[in-house]
């Protein structure tokens, strides 16, 4: 019987995994996208867009579509959907795994300030700089809205959602970016502090190298912890090995 794999997507790794699994003869691969980006990249196999209606809705979908395995390949900061996926898998007995790229680690010369939330990042900023390069995504900028004395340069693929800090410059751009790109941006906008989430992956790490070379402080928001009891692997190859070893 052909296995049906549901991938909770939205990351580069999710697209790579879908392509790898869709090439297997007889495998049905469905990637679910949240729909927050209006122009997502091409995805192999079937694609569905939109939420499930929480853990219960996802569990219903797993049963109705006879899903044999669930792969959570969402962004490391997609806390809610990861929790829903863990609960839905437990409720239905569908084997599940979380694909999480390794996080970043500071190196010699880095001036990192790790924090556990955007609110904590906002509290630190006035003591670190006045011109902020903010690369935490477009949907959670309200934490910085009260910082009226700071100037923010916000980069995102699509327009950020309000409320925004009163002095905000928006750069619409899609990566990956080189170290030269990031160094030029930091110079041009006279940035003196960087704020980012620990999303991991080499494709988004150039800004960290540029900040290190300029001796800039970097506020790094730590990842949320994974739900208890979940299996996590660091790459697409790890998911493929897990699938090959998982009874369905």
Q: What are phi and psi of 144, to 5 degrees?
A: -100, 0
d(CA 53, CA 142): 25
Q: How many residues does the chain have?
A: 248
Find the range with the poorest average confidence among 109-113, 138-142, 164-168, 207-211: 138-142
Q: Greater confidence, 169 or 175?
A: 169
Encode pLDDT of 32-61 as tens digits. 998 765 556 689 999 999 999 999 999 999
Among 143, 141, 138, which residue's Cα sits nearest to residue 123? 143
Encode pLDDT of 173-207 as tens digits. 988 899 999 999 999 999 999 999 999 877 789 99
């Amino acid at each position: 019987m052909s296995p049906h794999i549901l991938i909770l997507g939205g990351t580069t790794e999710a697209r790579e995994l879908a392509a790898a699994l869709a090439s297997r003869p007889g495998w049905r691969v469905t990637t679910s996208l949240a729909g927050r980006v209006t122009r997502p990249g091409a995805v192999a196999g079937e694609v569905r867009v939109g939420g499930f209606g929480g853990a219960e809705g996802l569990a219903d979908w797993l049963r109705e579509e006879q899903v044999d395995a669930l792969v959570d390949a969402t962004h490391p900061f997609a806390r809610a959907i990861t929790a829903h996926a863990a609960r839905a898998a437990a409720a239905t007995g569908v084997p599940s795994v979380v694909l999480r790229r390794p996080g970043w680690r500071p190196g010699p010369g880095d001036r990192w300030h790790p924090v556990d939330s955007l609110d904590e990042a906002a509290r630190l900023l006035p003591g670190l700089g006045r011109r902020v390069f903010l690369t935490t995504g477009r949907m959670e900028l309200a934490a910085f809205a009260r910082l009226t004395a700071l100037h923010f340069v916000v980069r995102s693929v699509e327009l950020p959602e309000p409320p925004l800090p009163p002095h905000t410059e928006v750069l619409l751009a899609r990566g990956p970016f080189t170290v030269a790109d990031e160094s030029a941006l930091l110079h041009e906008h006279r940035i003196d502090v960087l704020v980012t989430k620990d999303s991991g992956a080499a494709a988004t790490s150039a800004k960290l190298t540029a900040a290190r070379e300029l001796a800039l402080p970097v506020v790094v928001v730590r990842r949320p912890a994974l739900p208890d009891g979940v299996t996590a692997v660091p790459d697409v190859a790890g998911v493929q090995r897990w699938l090959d070893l998982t009874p369905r």
